[in-house]
Amino acid sequence: MINITLYHYLIVSSVLFCLGIFGVITRKNAIMVLMGIELILNAANINFVAFARYGNFGNSGQLAALFVIILAAAEAAIAMAIVLNIYKTFTNINIDEIDTLKD
Amino acid sequence: MTESVLIKLALLILFLPLIGFIVTLLFGKRIKWLYWFENSILILAFLLSAVLAYFKLTHFTDQTLISEFEWINLGSIPFVKSIIIDLGIMLDNITVLMILTVNIVSLLVHIFSVGYMKGDKRYNRYFSYLGIFTFSMLGIVLTHNLLMMYVFWELVGLSSYLLIGFWYEKKTASDAAKKAFIVNRIGDIGMFLGILTLFLTYNTFSFDKIFYQISTGNLPFGTEFGLTVAGVLLFCGAIGKSAQFPLHVWLPDAMEGPTPVSALIHAATMVAAGVYFMIRVFPILSGDALLVIATIGALSAFIPATIAVTQNDIKKVLAYSTISQLGYMIMAIGVGAYTFAFFHLVTHAFFKAGLFLGSGSVIHSMHHEQDMTKMGGLRKKMPLTYITFLVASLALSGIPFTSGFLSKDGILAGTFAFGSLTGYWYFAAVGFIVAFLTAFYMFRAIIMTFHGKPKNKEKFEHAKESSFVMAMPLVVLSALSLFFWYSLNPFNPNEGKLLSSWIKTPEISVPQSARYEFMKTDDKIINKENLEEVTYSNSYTEAIHHAHYPTLFTSASLALLGILFAFIFYQWKVFDPNKFAEKLKPIYLLSFNKWYFDEIYYASFVAGTIGLSKIISMFDNKFIDGIVNGSALFTKNFSAFTGKFDNVVVDGLVNMMAYISGMFGLFFRRFQTGKVQTYILFVVFSLIILLYIFR
Amino acid sequence: MQNFPILSLLTFLPIVGMIFILSLTKRQEKTIKWITLIVTGVQLLIAIVILFFYNFSMAGINDPSSFQFVEKFRWIEITGLAWVGTIKIDYFLGIDGLSVVLVLLTTIVTFIATFASWNISKSIKGYFALFLLLDTAMLGVFVSLDFFLFYVFWELMLLPMYFLIGVWGGPRREYAAIKFFLYTLLGSVFILLVMIGLYFSATETLANGSKVFSFNILTLMDTANYTTTGILSPFNPNNLRFIAYIALFIGFAIKIPMFPFHTWLPDAHVEAPTAISVILAGVLLKMGTYGILRISYPIFPDITIQLLWYIGLFGMINIIYGALAAMAQKDFKKLIAYSSVSHMGYVLLGMASLTTASLSGAVLQMFNHGTITAMLFIIVGIIYDRAHTRDMDAFGGIANQMPIYTGFVAVAFFAAIGLPGLSGFISEALVFVGAFSSELIRTITIISTLGILLGAGYMLWAFQRIYFGELNSKWKELKDLELREYFMVVPLTLIIILLGVYPSLILQFMTTSVNALVKFMGDAQIIISSIN
C-alpha cells in the first residue's frame, strides 16, 4: 500500500494547474477558457486543503477553500454573463476574434 | 491826526480801488450802473489822499512813518538765521505826493472814460480793470519792502495786460498785451535777481533795514562791485516797466488799448513805477550803477525822440515822447538830480495825461481815426481840446510859465552840473538835443492835427467838441500843467514848497569810495543857513547854481527853435518835409521804422525761442521718446526672438524626446495583440523565467 | 485724538466704499457716484480734523516720538527662516509737516476729481471702484513710515491707474497706459532693490534686546542702527551706497517726472480722462518728490550732499526744457502736461539747496502745483467736453462766448505764470530765495529764472490763441459753466487766491518739520563724514 503524502497532493494540484493553464491559453472557445480557470482555482483549493491537513494551520485552509469555491461560483456567473454579452455583440465567442482590447 | 491814523488812512486809500475792482468785476455784468460805484470810490480815494497829503506835509514834514506786520515766518534752526518776511507800508513826502498824483490822474481818467468808452459791451469790466490798475500802482507807491514792490510790480503788469488787451477781439491788441507782459517780465527777472541778492546779504526785504546795513559798510558779496551789480539788477526792473532802451518796444504797441488807458499807463501808473522805484532805491545806487542808469536814460531819451519826429499816428508820437521823457527822468537819477527826477515825474504825469486825454478826445470825435495825415483844422471844431492840448504841449516842450519848463530845466541843470564836475558832457548834450526835438515833434503833431485844412472832409464834418465828462479832465490837467502850482517864480522851481521843503535828496547809504566824486560828503560844510541847498557837497551845489542860468536860456531858446522849425515845415510850408525826407532817406527810414527794434528782436529772440522750442519738442518726440519706444521695440523684438528660440530649440528637444519614446512605443506595440491568452502566455513564461532566476 | 486710528480710517475708508460699490449692481449708477462723493467728502473732513488737531511744534522727520497720529503694530512676523532669521514688518503710520500738507492736497484733489468724474459713462461701477482704490493707495504712500508698507502702497497705485487710463482713456489709451505702467514699474524695481539692500543693512533693537533687520524708515535714518558689514551701510567702504542712491533717485524721478524720464507724462495726460489727469498731475507727481524728501534725503544724507548740484541742474533742465517743450505744443492738454514738467522743476530746484526757504518753497510748490494744475486740467476738460477738440489753433474768441469760464481760466493761468497774489508766486519766490542763497547752485538758479519768462510766454500765447480774437463761428453753441463745474473750479480758485495772499495758512504746518529736516541733513552729514 502506498502511503499518500503531501507530495502526492501537490503533484495532483500541479497537474491540474498545468492543465488549467494549458486550457486557458490554447482554447478558442471562451467557455473552455472559463473551464480552464476553474481548473486552476481547484488546483489552488487542493493546495489549501492539503497544506491544512499536513501543516499546522488549523482549519483556515478549508475555510480559504470554501471562500474560493464561493468566489468561483460568483465568478462563473459573472463570466457567463460577460460571455453572453460578448456573444450578443460579436455573434461568436471565439477569443481570437475578440481583440478589441488592443485598440 | 496821529501817525497811526495816517497809516490807516493810507491803507484805506490803497484798498478802496481793490474793493472797487472786486465789486465791479463780480457784479458788473448784472448791474449796469456799477461803474458809478467805481468812480465814486475813486473820488473818495482822491479826497482821502488830499487829506493824507495835507496832514503829512504840514504836520509830519520830516518824518517817515512805517508800519509793518509779519507775513511769513519760516521758523528757525538753532544757530542759523531765521527767515521772517514782513509786509508794510511807508509814508514819506514822496509817497503822499505820488499817491495824490496817481489818484488825481486816475480819477480824471475814470471820468474821461465815462464818456470815451460809452457803448462798449464790456463797460463795467473796463472800470473794474482801472480799479485794479490804480490799486497796484498805489501798492508800489506805498510799499516799504522790496518783495511787496515786486508783488505790486507784477500786478501792474497784469493790469496793463488786461487793459492793453481790453479789445481782445483785435489780434493786434492781444499781441500788444502779451508783448507788454513778456517784455516787462524780462526786466522783472533782473529786478527779482537784484532783490534776491539784497535778501541774501541782509535777510530782509525792508528798505530802511537794507539802507542801514549798507551804510554800515555791509555790502552784497562784500564788494562795491556787488553793490553796483545789485543796483543795476534792480534797475533792470525799471528798464522794463519804464520802457527804457532796450526794452522800450512794448510801449508804442501798448497804444492798442483804449486811449484813456494809455493816459493812465503813460502818466501816473506803470511807466512811472520804474522811475519811482529808482527814486526809492536811490540811496543804495553806487556811482557806477548811476552811470549805467544815466547812459540808459540818455539813450532812451534820444532814440525815441528821433523816432517821434516821423510818426504819423498821434498816439505813437505821444508814446515815443513818453519814453523820451522817462529817459530824462532816468538820466536825472543817473546824474544825481534826484529831486528834479521826481519833480518831472509829477509834472509829466499831469501834462502827459492831458495830452493823451486830448488825443483821446480828438480820436473819439474823429471816430477812432488816429492818423494825423487824415486830420487837420480841428482847431475850429474843438477849441477847448485844442487849447488844453496846446498848453500841455507847451509844458512838454519846456516853454517858460509851464510846469514842464520848471522840471525839465532842473534836469538839464543837473546834467550840466554833472558835466562840469565829471567831464561827462554828453548827458547835457543829449538833454538839449532832445529838448529841441521834443518841441519840434509836439508842434508838428499840433499843426498836423489842429491847424491847416481838414484832409478828411467827411470825418471833419462829423467832428465836434467833446462832452463835459471828457472836457473837464482836459481843463483840470492843462491847469495843472502851469507853473504856479509848483513854484510862484516861473523861472526858479526851488522857490516852491515842493522842492524847498518837501522833497529832499535822501542820505546816501553807499560807501564813500563807491560814490561819484561830487557826492562824497567830505567837503560838505554844515552851515545852518546854507543847509537846505547843499545836497551832496558844496562843489555840487555851486555847480548847480552856475548851471541854472545857462541851461535856462539854452533850453528855452532850443524849445522855441524847435517850435519855429515845426511851423516852418508844417504850417508855413517853407520847406516841403517830404522832399527833406527824400534827401535824408536812410535816416528818415531808420526813424520811421523805429530803428528796426521790433524786427531785430523778432528775428533774434522771438524766432530763436520759438525755433528752440520746436527743436526741443522734436527732440522730445523723436529722441527721448525714440529711446523709450526703441527700447520697447527692442524688448518686443527680443521677446519675439526668444519666442522663436522657445519654439525651435526648447520645444524641439521636448518633441525629440517624445519622438524617441514614440519609437519605443511602436516597437513594443507588437507585443500588444489584444488577446488575453497571449498576455497570459507572457505571464506564465515570465513567471517561469523569474522562478528559474530566483530559484 | 492722538490714539484714535484716524490715519487708518482716512486711508482705508475708500476701500470700504469700494466694497460697497462692488456689491451694487451695474445699473445703480447714481448710488455709485454718490457713495464715491460721500467717501471722498468724508475723507476731506477727516483731513480737516487732522489739521485741526495737528500740533505745529512737533517736527517728525527722524524722531519717532514727534510724529503725530502714529499707529504702529506688527504686521508680518515670520521667524526661523534660513539666512534671514526673522522678518518683522511693521504697520507704521504717522504724519509730520511734510506729509500733512500732501494728505490735505490728496483729499482736496480727490474730492474735486470726483466731480470731474461725474460724466463718465462707460462702466461706471468699475471706474469708481478703481478710483477709490487709487485713493487709498495715494494716501497710504503719504502716511506710511515703514518702507515696505510704503512700497506696497506705491505699487498698489499702479494697478488702478493702469486700468483707469487704459480703459477710460482717449484714442491712444492702450499705448499711454502701457507706457505709464512700464515706466513706473521700472522705477519701482529700482526702489525695491534699494529697499531690500537697506533692509539687510540696518537693525532695530527689540524690547527683549535682540536685533532684527528693519524696514522702518526712521530706523534707517540713524547711522547708529547700521551694521558695519551691511551692503548699504555708511560704514561699509564700498560704492554701493552711491549707486543705490542713484537707483532710488531714478525710481522717484520717474514719478516726478524728471528729465529725461518725463515722456510718459504727456501721453498719459493726453489720453487719461479729465479726473484722472487731475489726480495724476495733482497728487501722483508729488509722490516722487515726497519720496525723495522722505526717503532718499534722510537715509542717504551723505550722498545727497554730494549730488545736490546735479539735482539742481536737473531742476533747471526741467524748468527750461518743460517750458520750451510746452511752447511748441498745439494740443492744449499736452501744453499743460509739459507745464507740469516745468513746474515740478521748481520743486527739484528747491530741494537742491538745503535751506529752510527753498525746502519750504518746494513743499509749498508741491501743494500749489497740485491745486493749480488740477484746475488747469479741469479747464481743459471743460472745453474738451464741449468742443471735443483740444487743438488750440481751432479755438479763438472763447472769452466772449464763455466769459465766466474765461475768468477762472485767467486765474489759473496767471497762477501758473507765478503772478503775485496767487499761490504759485509764493512757492516759486521761496524756492528762488532759498536756492539763490546756496552758493553751490547760484548759477543754476539764475538761469532757472528764465523759466519765469518762458512760463509767461507759453501761457499767454496759449491764452491768446484760445480765448482772444474773433469768435470762431464753430463755437457759437458753447455754453458757459454749469453747476457741477462751479463745484470744481470755485474751491480751487479760492485756495489759489487765499494761499497767494496769506501763504502762512499752509506754511505754518511745515515750518517745524522743514527746519528739522535741514538741521538733520546738516548733522547727519557731519556724523557720516566723521565715520569715513
Nearest to C440 by CA among C354, C314, C336: C354
Residue recorded with cell 477781439: B169
* CA angle (B271 as vertex; B268, B274 as ends), nearest 5: 110
Residues from chain B that touch C469, judged by Cβ atoms under 8 A, are 168-169, 171, 174
Contact A25 B674 (CB under 8 A): no
- Position C390 scores a pLDDT of 86
Residue C116 lies in a domain: no
Q: Please, what sign has the CA dihedral across residues C225, C228, C230, C232?
A: positive
Nearest C-alpha neighbor of C101 from the set C504, C439, C532: C504
Distance from the Cα of residue B335 to its chain's centroid: 22
Cα separation of B188 and C360, whole Å? Answer: 23
Inside any domain, residue C377 = yes
Q: Which of B160, B661, B174 is nearest to C462 (CA)?
A: B174
Domain presence at residue C430: yes
Q: pLDDT tens digits, residue range B574-615?
A: 777 777 777 777 777 777 777 888 888 888 888 888 888 888
Cα separation, B224 vs B219, whole angstroms: 7
The answer to whether position C529 is within a domain reads no
Location of C-alpha cell 508804442: B252
First to last CA, chain C: 44
Residue A76 sits in a domain whose CATH number is: 1.10.287.3510
CA of C58, closest CA in chain B: separation in Å? 13
The span from the CA of B443 to the CA of B343, in Å, is: 24
Q: Which residues contact B473 (CB under 8 A, 6 or more apart)?
A: B108, B109, B111, B112, B353, B357
Within a domain: A56? yes
Which residues in chain B are closer than 8 Å to C449, comparing Cβ atoms? 189, 192-193
Residues of C in contact with B80 (CB under 8 A): 356, 518
Section B315-338 average pLDDT? 88
Element (H or E) spanning B91, and its range?
strand B84-91
Distance CA B429, CA B551 (A): 11
**Residue A83 belongs to domain spanning:** 6-90
Work out the average pLDDT over B618-628: 85
Three-class SS of residue B162? Answer: helix
- Closest chain B residue to C364, measured at CA: B74
- C510 part of a folded domain: no
**Is residue A44 situated within a structural domain?**
yes
CA distance B195 to chain C (A): 9
A98 part of a folded domain: no
User: Rounded to an integer, what distance in angstroms lies between the CA atom of residue B331 and that of residue B336?
Assistant: 9
List all chains that touch chain C, counting a touch as 3 or more CB pairs closer than 8 Å.
B
Average pLDDT over residues B519-531: 54
Residue identified by cell 507704521 is C92
pLDDT of B258 strictly over 90:
no
pLDDT of residue A5: 84
Please give the Cα distance from C428 to C369 (Å, whole number). Answer: 10
Amino acid code (one letter) for B681: L
CA distance A52 to chain B (A): 25
Inform me whether the pLDDT recorded for B619 exceeds 80: yes
Q: Which residues of A touch B677 (CB under 8 A)?
A: 24-26, 33, 95
A101 assigned to some structural domain: no
Strands C203-205 and C85-95: unpaired
What does the pLDDT read at residue C362?
Answer: 92
- What is the per-residue pLDDT across C121-164, written as a single tens digit (0 to 9) for each? 888 888 999 999 999 999 999 999 999 999 999 999 988 999 99
Task: Please determine, for residue B531, whether its predicted confidence score (pLDDT) is greater than 50.
Answer: no
Q: Which of C430, C445, C515 sits opposite B76 (nearest CB)?
A: C515
pLDDT number for residue B59: 80
In a domain, C102, yes or no: no
What SS3 class is residue C150? helix
According to DSSP, the β-strands at B65-73 and B84-91 are antiparallel
Q: What pTM was estimated for this model as a whole? A: 0.85
| Domain count across chain A | 1
Residue-level pLDDT at C532: 62
Would you say residue A100 lies in a domain?
Answer: no
> What's the pLDDT tens digit per position in B334-358?
888 888 888 888 888 888 888 888 8
State yes or no: pLDDT of B278 exceeds 80: yes
Q: Is A touching C (3+ C-beta pairs, cut-off 8 A)?
A: no
ipTM score for this prediction: 0.90
Write out pLDDT tens, residues C454-498: 999 899 998 888 888 888 778 888 888 888 889 889 999 999 999
Nine-digit cell string for B357: 486825454
CA C456 → CA B460, B527, C415, C452, distances in Å?
A: 43, 54, 10, 6
Spatial neighbors of C488 by CB under 8 A, at least 6 apart, are C112, C115, C116, C375, C378
Query: Measuring CA to CA, how many Å separate B181 from each of A2, B157, B232, B614?
Result: 139, 6, 21, 22
What residues of A are in the B interface, CB distance below 8 Å?
21, 24-26, 33, 95-96, 99-103
Residue C172 lies in a domain: no
Answer whether B616 sits within 8 Å of C328, measured CB to CB.
yes
pLDDT of residue B599: 83
Predicted confidence at residue A102, as pLDDT, reads 63
> How much is the pLDDT for B208?
86
Subunit contact B677:A25, Cβ cutoff 8 A: yes
How high is the mean pLDDT of chain B? Answer: 84
Regions in chain C scoring below 70 on pLDDT: 1-2, 80-85, 532
* Closest residue to A99, CB basis, from B674, B680, B684: B674
What does the alpha-carbon distance between residue C16 and residue C22 come to, in Å, rounded to a whole number? 10
The vertex-B628 CA angle with B623 and B629, nearest 5°, equals 95
Give the domain range for residue C385: 307-501
Check the CA dihedral B406-B411-B412-B417 and report its sign.
positive
- Predicted local confidence at residue C14, as pLDDT: 92
Taking the C-alpha atoms of B219, B225, B231 and B237 in order, what is their torsion angle to the nearest 10 degrees?
-130
Whether the CB of B622 is below 8 Å from some CB of chain C: the reply is: no
Look at residue C246 in the predicted model and tell me its pLDDT: 92
Q: Is the dihedral of CA B655, B661, B667, B671 positive or negative?
A: negative
Q: Is residue A51 part of a domain?
A: yes
- Domain count of chain C? 1
pLDDT at B528: 45
The C-alpha of B135 sits at a distance from chain C's nearest C-alpha, in angstroms, of: 13
Q: What integer is the mean pLDDT of B488-509?
A: 75
Measure CA of the first residue to CA of the last residue in chain B; give whole Å: 137
Q: Does B50 touch chain C (CB under 8 A)?
A: no
Per residue, what are the HEC states of B51-86? HHHHHHHHHCCCCCEEEEEEEEECCCCCCCCCCEEE
pLDDT in tens, B103-158: 988 888 888 888 888 878 888 888 888 888 899 999 999 888 888 899 999 999 88
d(CA C349, CA C343): 10
Shortest CA gap B695–chain A (Å): 18
Closest Cα of chain A to B671: distance in Å? 10
